Amino acid sequence: MTTFDTAEINACCADAYSHPAARFLLGESLHPGGLDLTADLAHRMRLSEDDHVLDAGCGPGATAIYLAEELGCRVTGVTLEAGAVTELDHRAEERGLADRITVIRGDISDIDLPQAGFDAAVAECVVSIFARKAEALARIHDALKPGARLGLTDVTVSGPLPEALQGIFAVAGCVGNAVSLEQYASLVEDAGFVVTECAPLPDIARDFLKGIRKKMMFAEIGAKLGKIPVSVESVKMAKGVLKETEELVNSGTLGYGMIVAERR
């Protein structure tokens, strides 16, 4: 697995996920499965209005809004994106959730969080991006109360990746720095958690790519008509990478998975 400088990854991820194209292709929640998977994860974690939840890598806050609005949780989100902080603050205020949602800009690996201050933590499609996975998970562990729950969903990689999926932008896309589901589980346990659920979600990965392919078709038409500021060649290159990714998902090399764990 290729490794990259933490600052380089952070800058790339912040730029990538704040770009309008990311919203178009990935959806509001910016991760496979969307809020349906978030709801499933929250159910498995037994989240309720009594819980203060740490949302690691919250981005513009789709999950934070869902947890606060639908389940009544208090949520503290952490994100690298300055624009996401502003957006989530605005959305929380607009929906009457400002008293339940707090957002902090910083790196979850070393941000200042209260020791044993949270009842639960979610990390959706972000651990794959972390350059220092062990440190990030250890920091999350320390921020949770004994017996608190961790819910993780992420891209999984179980084999070598082609060169096109090994660069810094592949890392920002949750692929180039991802590991196998078993490795995630090992990292989680090494950080001081007990894994209670560990499940591959191959259909989530396939459905996610199908959705992106449909959007790529519209993007290609828009580029040809000059309706969007993207070259036809760029769209064709992206479709080539997508095809390669689909083949890797079908072979089982790429996938998606869920882990639920409890802090010891």
What are the contacts of 111-115 at 24+ separation with CB within 8 A? 111/78, 111/139, 113/54, 113/76, 113/78, 113/139, 113/142, 113/143, 114/143, 115/142, 115/143
In a domain, 232, yes or no: no
In a domain, 137, yes or no: yes
In a domain, 234, yes or no: no
DSSP state of 29: T
Q: pTM for this structure?
A: 0.85
In a domain, 244, yes or no: no
83/108 Cα distance (integer angstroms): 17
In a domain, 88, yes or no: yes
In a domain, 223, yes or no: no
In a domain, 225, yes or no: no
* pLDDT in single tens digits along all 264 residues of the chain: 444 455 554 554 555 455 555 545 555 656 899 999 999 999 999 999 999 999 999 999 999 999 999 999 999 999 988 899 999 999 999 999 999 999 999 999 888 899 999 999 999 999 998 888 999 999 999 999 999 999 999 999 998 888 766 653 454 455 658 899 999 999 999 999 999 999 999 999 999 989 888 888 877 888 788 877 778 888 788 788 888 889 999 999 999 999 999 999
Number of domains in the chain: 1
Structure tokens at 142: 């320390």
**Domain span at residue 21?**
6-203+253-263
What CATH number is associated with residue 167? 3.40.50.150
In a domain, 213, yes or no: no
